[in-house]
Chain A
Amino acid sequence: MNAAFSLARLAALLIKEFIQMRRDRITFTMMLGVPLAQLLLFGYAINSDPKQLPAALVAVSQDHYTRAMVSALETTGYYRFDHVTASAAEAEALIASGQVVFVVTIPSDFARRVDRGDSPQILIEADATDPSVASGAISTLGTVANQALLRERGMQAAAAQDASSRLEVVVHRRYNPEGVSQYNIVPGLLGVILQMTMVMMTSIALTREIERGTMENLLAMPASPFEIMLGKVLPYLAVGSVQVIVVLSAAKLLFDVPFVGSIALLLAAVLIFVLALVLLGYFISTIARTQMQALQLTFFFFLPSIMLSGFMFPFRGMPLWAQWIGEFFPLTHFLRVIRAVMLKGANTHEVTTEIVVLCLFVLAYGGVALARFRRTLD
């Protein structure tokens, strides 16, 4: 009989935990239903490259150049001209009130200048309060407008000639050529959903034992801290695995997210990530005295990790100090691994660093949790 660790005692704790999970119907449903609901909601809702944005056209004359310009802009997919007006003041009111995102002004001398060969101008005002809304629409603008104009003057040949003499920049949008937001969002959501449910459930599960007084009893019986920890960690690891399967299946079936890398490698990374999260939850529960405190601590951790991990905003866009803070969240590293493996087909060698960092999180959280837990006996 091994004094420090026994499978029989661990089995006792596991059986107890699963019975409790089964009895707690609402929590159990939440553990499986919430990930799916969130995936559907966010997966379909979030779009980082918005199209069909409302626009207003200010044009004094409705000549064929104007019409060519408007149809060129509409074919980019970014603009939807809801308002056509001759008054700049009216357009100003529309953009100020937020009814349109763009105001396109075609000056009255536009056609004359085109015909004369002067450099014609059009003005596009964008509501850039949220920079990401307008950026896509603006970036495509220059070439589209030029080509439309040249075509309209019957100068395709000249256009081709013109283009051949210029420097050509070739852009390959790799891994996600069509710029589908879901390809980026859905794998990221897996990380975010796992982080929320795993950390929260585990931190609450242990604090509940302390709050209800059952921990005292547990400690008075021959169960070692390590057994108690495993007894809490393993069931939630199992729940996490089910969540992973649900989310990944939905990613494939509903969102058609490409899956170019090795599934085994991906699952291994997910497992390490979930283990880190569960241990973090366990660590939180050694600090919190009540379930409410555990929840609060979880959210205290949750928000910065979503903001700074690169899930919501581009990681490389943050100042260096913020990137450093971001490095301390497991989610940051997990996002890199899952995006690399799922979308880029990265092999083990290419994600080794990130996986090692995730393993370090497991060791650190596990070590601190166990050390803190030992001390809470006294």
Chain B
Amino acid sequence: MNAIEVSGLVKRFGDKTVVDHVSMTVGEGEIVGFLGPNGSGKTTTIRLMCGLLTPDEGEGRVLGFDLRTNALKIKREVGYMTQKFSFYEDLTIAENLAFVARLYQLDPVGEHVDRTLDELGLGSRRDQLAGTLSGGWKQRLALAACIMHRPKLLLLDEPTAGVDPKARRDFWDEIHRLAANGLTVLVSTHYMDEAERCHRISYIAYGKMLATGTVDEVVSDAGLTTFVVRGEDLHKLAEQISALPGVEQAAPFGTTLHVVGSDAALLEKSLAEYTGGRKGVSFERGETSLEDVFIQFMSGARDNMQ
């Protein structure tokens, strides 16, 4: 059984279609990254999947329960971590966890709270008010609260926004540990390094699912060619190169310029002509990154909208 199996999900707010026929399958124990620009419908899709919103169109089963008729059962088995910290800032860590434990009717409450505090290393701060915690600790509390009822599916909405790299690393180690024990995870993110730690990724823009697969699949399916250009005065180079035929992106990366295009032959010809007459400017074949692909998706999707 797949943990998530939804097809043709549509959600409109007023006359704005926020989620536009999104289909998605996530297998048990998989970690799927959910990527896309701001306002692309990631949060709404996640809310549809955890039963917070009812879809206008489309069908789906989450953990085997029907999305439309069994929202309460889904809520019991899913852990949902909201984008914004949404526990009570005027309650301590332990009180917040006890609240969650009681809501899920975990018995005995104290034992579950202590176990969760231990598992996520929150014990030392159990009596600290949640409002006084730093971003990393808040995120740890939110994760602890989401997994304490031992859900089968974890929906994480940009869980690492505003968290330092060390805490981010710890967080992902924890996610992998949980997935190894059979938990399915759907996590939305803006970070490419996080996308690369997922088993699979799905890319959504303007409510439409544009690509899905492993990172390598998504990169190779995009059919992009990348060249690395070296030379003096990168800023001027970038300006001139982006005007050449076949060039779709030209972005400085440190001391080099990444030039991306979908027509490899045209791109290579343009660059050869450009660099031929100039001293100190050279180019070579480079590796297309996930980020290049996403930026390509974003500009493409915007064109579709217009």
A residues contacting B by CB (< 8 A) are 1, 3, 6, 8-9, 11-13, 15-16, 19-20, 23-24, 212-217, 219-224, 377-378
Contact = CB atoms under 8 A, between A and B. Distances in A.
B187 interface: no
Nearest to A217: B86
Contacts of B101: 12
Given A19-B91, A220-B82, 13 more contacts: A1-B105, A15-B102, A16-B88, A19-B90, A20-B88, A20-B90, A212-B89, A214-B87, A216-B82, A216-B86, A220-B80, A221-B100, A222-B72
Q: Which of A3, A221, A223 has the most CB of B within 10 A?
A: A221
Interface stretch (B47-55, B171-179, B224-232, B295-303): B47-55
20 contacts: A3-B72, A9-B105, A12-B101, A16-B88, A16-B91, A20-B90, A20-B91, A23-B90, A212-B89, A214-B86, A214-B88, A216-B52, A216-B86, A217-B82, A220-B50, A221-B75, A221-B103, A222-B72, A222-B75, A222-B103
Contacts of B50: 220
A8 B86 contact: no
A19 to B, nearest CB: 6
Contact of A16 (B51, B72, B80, B99): B99
B76 A222 contact: yes
Contact of A222 (B84, B98, B99, B104): B104
Contacts of A15: 98-99, 102
A15 B51 CA distance: 26
Given A214-B88, A377-B52, A377-B53, A220 B75 contact: yes
Contact of B102 (A12, A23, A24, A216): A12
Contacts of A6: 105
A319 B151 CA distance: 63
Contacts of B85: 213
A12 B103 contact: yes
Interface residues on B, range: 20 to 34
Contact of B95 (A3, A9, A13, A19): A19
A4 to B, nearest CB: 8
B102 A213 contact: no
A8 B72 contact: no
A18 B10 CA distance: 40
A377 B98 CA distance: 25
A24 B76 CA distance: 31
Nearest to B76: A222
Nearest to A224: B72
B103 A9 contact: yes
Contacts of A219: 52
Contacts of A378: 53-54
* Nearest 8 A/B pairs, CB to CB: A12-B102, A217-B86, A213-B86, A220-B80, A213-B84, A23-B90, A12-B103, A222-B75
B76 A220 contact: no
B139 to A, nearest CB: 14
Nearest to A16: B99
A118 to B, nearest CB: 82
Interface string B47-81: 00011111000000000000000001001101010
Given A20-B88, A213-B85, A214-B86, A223 B53 contact: no
Contacts of B89: 212
Contact of B52 (A8, A16, A220, A223): A220
A11 B52 contact: no
A217 B87 contact: yes
A212 B86 contact: yes
A227 to B, nearest CB: 9
